[in-house]
Each structure stands twice: as structure tokens, then as C-alpha cells.
Structure 1
Amino acid sequence: MSDKHLSSQFDAELNSISSNVLEMGGLVESQLHQAVYALVHMSLETAGQVIETENRINQMELHIDHEIISTIGRRQPTARDLRFLMAISRTTQNLERAGDEVARIARMVKSIIESGTPRNLPISELRMAADLAAALLRKTLDAFARLDTVSALSIIKGDDEIDAEYDGFLRKLITYMMEDPRTISPSLDLLFLAKSIERVGDHAKNIAEQIIFIVKGEDVRHASVDKVASVIG
């Protein structure tokens, strides 16, 4: 069998793994939209559907990991291809953890509905932060598909916007709790929910860092935005 044919097979395997990652990411994004819908519309049914899908996301992570390990064992990839597979593994870990946060949101929504949280709490305001997180995740998946480092940098910067939304929401909840102690318990539920949304944004940022690792070969985790920008050049 020719080296060219072997190379073509390897490229096909890498493309298949990438497609599976994008499918997994799309499912996480869809579930986040569903969880937010459940919150805004107080839908127990929708929240339940999100929770039921958590296992599917977990199984997709296991499948992709198996494919990565199998490919490494068969192909013994060179440095660049091995870096790509390492980054894929880290990406699926972040997607699975984002999926965990989405399932946590759905469980919290279910708890909020069943406990009869007062409607005067700023539940609808969480939608803005969640929409930002979903948009950031979508942008990350698009950047991953194109290995676009410029978009990856803008995603890393965009995570700050979600953090700012979280901080503003936290201040508003504190005001509600101070004005009416009866809102303390449900406000804490909303606070944990908002934190999960913020963490989805963190995972999108982490994936963007892996895009840069694939293309530039430099690990920019924990690096400043200025440092990341200098790596991209």
C-alpha cells in the first residue's frame, strides 16, 4: 500500500474525528438553548428533555476518545498530527463539561419551577448571559471547523463579556435579597444557575485556546490576552 494512500486514509480519519467533535458541540449548544427556553417559559417538559440528553453527550465523548486512542495506536502520528489529536481530546473534555453545566442548568430550572420561585425575580435577565454563552460556543465551533486563530482570539476576549454579565446579575440578586429576605433561597438558586452559564463561556474560551495550540503549536492556556495576540502575530 502506497504512502500516499496511507496518508489519505489518515486524513480521512482525522476529518471524521473533527466532524464528530463538531456534532458533539452542536448538541451542547442546542441543549443550552433548550435549557434557557425551559427557564424563560417555566417548562418542566423541556428541562426534562435536556437532562435526558446528558448521557448522549457523555457517550459521544467516550466514542471520540476511543477513536483518538485507536488512531494514535495505528498511525503513530508525527508531532503536528499528535498535537492536533491532543487538542481534540482537550476540546471534547471541555464540551463534555459544558454539557454537564447545561444539564445542571436544566436541573436547577426544574427545581425553580417545582419550588414556585417568585416571578418578580430577574429570571428573564439570565437569558442575555445564556444567549451570549451560546453565541460564543457557536463561534468557537465555527472557528474550530476553520482552524481560525483570529476568531479564536476574539472568543477569548468575548468571554470577558459573559463574566461582566454574571457580575452584574450577582449585584442585582444581592439587592433583591437585601430588600426582601424571602427571596434569599430562590435567589441563590438563580445565582448557581448564572454561574453554570458563566462556566459554559469558560469552556468555549478553553476550546479557542486549543485552536491556537493546533495551528501555532504553542500552549496559551493561562496566558494573558496580549500574550495570545502576540502568538497569533
Structure 2
Amino acid sequence: MDNLNINKHISAQYNAELESLRNQVLTMGGLVEQQLIDAVKAMNKGDDVLAQQVIDNDVKVNQMEVAIDEACTRIIAKRQPTASDLRLIISIIRTVSELERIGDEADKICRTALEKFANQHQSLLVNLESLGQHAIQMLHDVLDVLARLDIEEGIRVYREDDKVDREYEGIVRQLMTYMMEDPRTIPSVMTAMFCARAIERIGDRCQNICEFVFYLVKGKDFRHVHDESLEKMLDEGKTPSADDH
């Protein structure tokens, strides 16, 4: 976040508070990323111990969200931030909310995975593994975008959600075919479909984080923007200057 001149304030304490916020968000992002990695692994390996570990660690994710929100509230009350500083605080509050929800999705995947797939239906997990890895990579990349405030990379990650959606739709069609061909697969198919939906939602959350980064850097709200007009709006967006504080 250096290109927002995070260390520009006269008050060294204020600089330290903002830098601490930055580090806390990235730490939370790292924890959530590991939660997702473990959730996908537990789902595919049928690892009950790892699944329970993810479920237990969700409390830590929730606690980090609360702590960061409280830190943001203190800064707003104490420093009364404006312009780029205020955008930073708002973006952090929105981002940690999305990260917490990604943690919830990882928790859902593990709770669903604990229901187990019948041995003869393990093939249902093959495509879920691919979708899960795609979501993990998207989360990893969006955290990198957040750390470096890289708009160009942010656009690429933002558009990656379209691929996740198409992959999800393909899995749903395949699962529906399984059910029609063999009604005995219905319980396993419903479990797989629930996991697939949770993974697909993670892509949406990552896309939201991209929008918060666009807002932070450009000073313009990019939510609900049509994809084809995204780059044009980013080009036209206001780029913060050193005096924007």
C-alpha cells in the first residue's frame, strides 16, 4: 500500500496505526487462505481430523475480523480520517468482512465433507477438486492485489470469476445427470452440490475484494459495474495524489 503514501503523516503514531491495520488484514488473509486450502484437501481426502481443525479455526478468523473492525473504529474516532485515509479504512472494513465470509464458506465445506461420500460416488469429487484449486488460486491472487494495490492484476483476478462460474455451472449439469441416471446418487450429489456452491461463492467474494481495491486506489465505487466497461472506468477514475489526504 506504499503508493497511497501510507507514511505521509506528521504523526508517527498515526503512521504506525495504519501500517498495523495493513498487516492485520494481510495476516487475516493468510489465515483464511490456509483455511480454504485445508477445507478443499479435507473434502477430497475425506480427512475428518483436518475438517474439524478448519471448523475449530473459524473462531480465530471471526476474532480477527472483530479486532480489525474495532481498530478501524478507534482510528475513525481518534483521527477523523479524510480522503485516501478514509477510503483505506472503509476498504479494510469491507475486505475483512469478505474474508470472514470466505472463512465461513471453508467451514461449510468441511461440515458438509464430514457427511462423507459413498465409496462408489467418490468420482463426484474429481471436478470439485479442480474448482476448489481454482478458488484457492483466485484468493491467493486477490490477496497479492490487496498487498501491492496492483490495478492491472486486479482486473485479471476480477475477470477470473467468470471462469469459476462456468466451471461451477458445468459441475452442476454433470451432477444433475448423475441424479437422473441413478437416483441412489442423490444424497451424495446434494452434498457435492452444496460444496460446489460454497466454492463458487468464494470467487464472488474475491471479486468483491478487487472492487474494494479499485475504490481505494481510484477513489470511485466500482460495485455493480458491467465487466466490459470496467477498464474504461478505471482509466477515467481519479488516481490519488500525494496531496490527497
Of 196, 199, 202, which residue of structure 2 is paired with 1:197?
199
CA distance, structure 1, for counterparts of residue 19 and residue 228 of structure 2: 32
Q: In the alignment, is the contact (CA less than 8 A) between 1:38 and 1:46 conserved in 2?
A: yes
CA distance, structure 2, for counterparts of residue 187 and residue 119 of structure 1: 8
**In the TM superposition, what whole-angstrom CA distance separates every residue of 1:123-178 from its partner, at most 9, and x where no partner exists?**
12201111111111111000101111111111110001110110010011011111
Q: 1:185: how far off?
A: 1.6
CA distance, structure 2, for counterparts of residue 118 and residue 45 of structure 1: 22
Q: What stretches of structure 2 of length at least 5 have no aligned partner?
A: 1-7, 236-245
Cα gap change, 1:211 to 1:4, in 2 (>3 Å): closer
Q: In the alignment, is the contact (CA less than 8 A) between 2:72 and 2:93 conserved in 1?
A: yes
1:36 is aligned to: 40
CA distance, structure 1, for counterparts of residue 73 and residue 56 of structure 2: 28
2:134 is aligned to: 132
1:158 is aligned to: 160
CA distance, structure 2, for counterparts of residue 107 and residue 120 of structure 1: 17
Q: What stretches of structure 1 of length at least 5 have no aligned partner?
A: none
Q: 1:231: how far off?
A: 2.2
**In the TM superposition, what whole-angstrom CA distance separates every residue of 1:5-38 from its partner, at most 9, and x where no partner exists?**
41x3222211111111111111111111111111
2:16 is aligned to: 12
Of 184, 187, 211, which residue of structure 2 is paired with 1:185?
187
Cα gap change, 1:195 to 1:152, in 2 (>3 Å): same
Letter in 2 for 1:38: A
Q: Does 1:59 align with 2:63?
A: yes
1:73 is aligned to: 77
The normalised TM-score by structure 2 is 0.90
1:50 is aligned to: 54
The normalised TM-score by structure 1 is 0.94
Percent of counterpart pairs with the same letter? 40
**In the TM superposition, what whole-angstrom CA distance separates every residue of 1:12-70 from its partner, at most 9, and x where no partner exists?**
21111111111111111111111111112111111100100110000000000000000
Letter in 1 for 2:23: S
Q: In the alignment, is the contact (CA less than 8 A) between 1:216 and 1:231 conserved in 2?
A: no
CA distance, structure 1, for counterparts of residue 197 and residue 119 of structure 2: 18
2:215 is aligned to: 213
Q: 1:84: how far off?
A: 1.1
CA distance, structure 1, for counterparts of residue 193 and residue 119 of structure 2: 13
**In the TM superposition, what whole-angstrom CA distance separates every residue of 1:194-214 from its partner, at most 9, and x where no partner exists?**
000000111011001000000
2:88 is aligned to: 84
Aligned length: 228
CA distance, structure 2, for counterparts of residue 117 and residue 220 of structure 1: 46
2:116 is aligned to: 112
